[in-house]
A and B are shown apart, each in its own frame.
Chain A
Amino acid sequence: MKLKIIALIIVILTSTLTILLFIEDTPYTQIIISPKIYSIVKSSDTESFGITFLVNDTESYYFNKDFVANIFLTSDKDEIIPLNIIEIDKSVEYYPIENHKYYYVTINLSIGFKSDDYLICLEEAYLNITYSNSKEIKLYIGEFNYLFSEEINSDFSLNDLFSTHKTIEGIDTASGLFLNLGNLTDNNIVITKIIIGSKDVLANNFYLTELFEDINLGDYPKDILKLDDYNFFVYGDYSSNRILLRKNNEIDLYVPFSYIGSISFLHRFYVSVEYIVNGEEKVFIIDDFPFINTSCYKEELEKGFAYYEYEN
């Protein structure tokens, strides 16, 4: 009887060990990233931004802050922007792709230098991380625009701000910008141009117009501008309209967007209003605002995902 029990234990142990031998550790860390347009104004000392990606194994050292030796952004033009890691967030939530679970990891970052007036504009930005074991990863994150601007503008009051939205080529995205500005100066102001913090998506100033009717978030640019049609993919560097904003007055403005780059959606962005007052050319910066709050990880964006695989 004892022999039988011992034999049974040996069989169970052998089977368990055999099974364990065939279970392999995850040999690769997979990273999936949805490139997007980052459009940020540094308006305070605590300004930070997050880069989120999907990974197959959140416990990998690739996502451990203590193993990171250096982190920076680069572009295809050899620009280097140093970064500081604030923290790395790992989520228990996952996004399924082809029956595999990929978990969300967000690296919260700040820019590694200070400035009062400087624009970082990387049309194709890569996140580079080097680790204490000398391994390196390089991830394409999309377009990166970061404006240092802590100047307070007291010429305007910003009274209303929203973006109209439309599904363009299957993706819900910002289709134009509506804003109401009040003139706080004792002079007339001439608004010459509206610029949004992006190179792939541009404010089409040829159609910059003063509005005299209320509009809604879901209204189409062609209806707002009273056009037969509006083509989101055509943009010319036309001379801008000049719109007069008299002193002690306010104005409703609308400008539609043009999609001319590889990234075809825009959710959060900053705005620059160029104007002339007292013969002086000036700029009013509107801090980045979450006009559309949605995930960059969803089915309609999957075709734009970038896939990476790194040895453990």
Chain B
Amino acid sequence: MKKIIMISLLMFISCFYYQNIKASDYLTYQEIVFDIDGGELLEDFSYQDYEKYYGRLQKRRFWGWITLVSYDAEEVTFTKETLYIIENQGDTAITQTFSVKTEEQVKKQYSVTGSLGMNISGKEYGFKLGLEEELKYSITATKTSSVEEEFEIKVYVDPMTKLIVQIQGEGKVSSGVAKYYRFWKNVKKGGWEIFVVTTEYYSLQKIRIDET
């Protein structure tokens, strides 16, 4: 009976357990699928996951980070939102030039939960308190670049059609938990995640507009 009460209590706590997540754009992607079975994003970590990972962290320290890597550059495939480009509701075909601004291998994107902090813009973009520097020694080094290129494309759009550009791609996800100490006191703790887009595949599609 005790066991049942304990399990029920645990499940009850899990239901209300909520880790406030601060994240970059990638969490708005339509779909992210891990190549490995059972892979999950930080936003899907459960109370039990956090307890398990915190339990694996080393003992407290005088000052600084202790970290744990639960996913190390795991490969994922994703579908981004569809980019709507041109809609022609007229009676005659139109020719238009549109430009797509792309980044060659998009920058790293970040998420944190709990009391971990991140800067979401500017030069200091990334985790606060030098967490990434600490992680570089443990996660697989990923070379990233972010060179912007603009593509100008001229297209012919038939009447009652719309032109869309769909983006699918591949990336790598690293995640885990971390605690930050000052004078042996744990002052910050939570989950962290780094998402790196390695390749994007663009496709152009023309769709007939429903006349009804």
Contacts and interface: CB of A to CB of B under 8 A. Distances in A.
A196 to B, nearest CB: 16
A293 B200 contact: yes
B154 A43 contact: yes
Residue from A47, A93, A160, A290 with most neighbouring chain B CB atoms (10 Å): A290
Nearest to B144: A93
B145 A160 contact: no
A180 B102 CA distance: 24
A77 to B, nearest CB: 28
A294 B202 contact: no
Interface stretch (A7-15, A149-157, A199-207): A149-157
A235 interface: no
Interface residues of A, number: 46
Contact of B204 (A43, A44, A162): A162
A100 B13 CA distance: 49
A217 interface: yes
A96 interface: yes
A128 interface: no
Contacts, number: 119
A47 B152 contact: yes
A294 B199 CA distance: 5
Q: Which 10 A-B residue pairs are closest in the complex by CB-CB distance?
A: A295-B105, A162-B203, A293-B200, A294-B199, A161-B204, A159-B206, A295-B145, A295-B104, A43-B154, A287-B153
A268 B145 contact: no
A184 B141 CA distance: 52
Nearest to B167: A293
A93 B145 contact: yes
Interface string B137-168: 00001011111111111111110000000001
A104 B147 CA distance: 8
8 contacts: A96-B143, A152-B154, A162-B201, A217-B201, A268-B151, A293-B200, A295-B104, A295-B145
A46 B146 contact: no
Nearest to B200: A293
Given A293-B200, A294-B105, A298-B143, A160 B97 contact: no
Contact of B202 (A46, A50, A154, A289): A289
Interface in A207-253: 217
A43 B152 contact: yes
A106 B147 contact: yes
Contacts of B2: none
B203 A217 contact: yes
Residue from A93, A156, A299 with most neighbouring chain B CB atoms (10 Å): A93
Contacts of A154: 93, 156
Contacts of B93: 154, 157, 184
A293 B102 contact: yes
B35 to A, nearest CB: 13
Contact of B198 (A48, A162, A165, A294): A294
A95 interface: yes
B105 A158 contact: no
Contacts of A106: 147-148
A44 B97 contact: yes
B147 A291 contact: no
B187 interface: no
Interface in A68-102: 89, 91-93, 95-96
Nearest to A291: B202
A52 interface: yes
Interface in A272-312: 287-299
B152 A293 contact: no
A182 B158 contact: yes
Nearest to A299: B143
B100 interface: yes
Residue from B103, B144, B148, B204 with most neighbouring chain A CB atoms (10 Å): B204
Contact of B105 (A153, A160, A298): A298
Contacts of A172: 199
